[in-house]
Amino acid sequence: MNSLLSFDSFITPRVITIIYWLSLFAVFVGGISVMFSGMGAAGFFAGLMVMVFGAISVRVYCELIMVIFRNNKYLKTISEKSQL
């Protein structure tokens, strides 16, 4: 608990995982709704594209946020080693 209050550990990486799965679910539901919106074959393929590119976009966005936190972790390790 002390590390959480002193910002020695971050909760954002755990939260990003939850946000990723919720966003992926939203993309899936959005794609399904476009697929069956009554636009025929074009709507069906548009829904597939929404699901594919939406899932890739959500993944890339979440990975970019995780890279920022991993860089902080690595910089902290380098700083601790250089102080010895």
Backbone angles phi, psi at 35, to 5 degrees: -60, -40
Quick one: the chain helix, strand, coil %, rounded to 5?
Answer: 85, 0, 15
Residue 29 in tokens = 């539901």
Computed over every residue of the chain, the mean pLDDT equals 89
pLDDT of residue 19: 95
Task: Give how far Cα 18 sits from Cα of 15, 21, 41, Å.
Answer: 5, 5, 33
Section 46-60 average pLDDT: 96
The pLDDT > 90 percentage for the chain reads 55
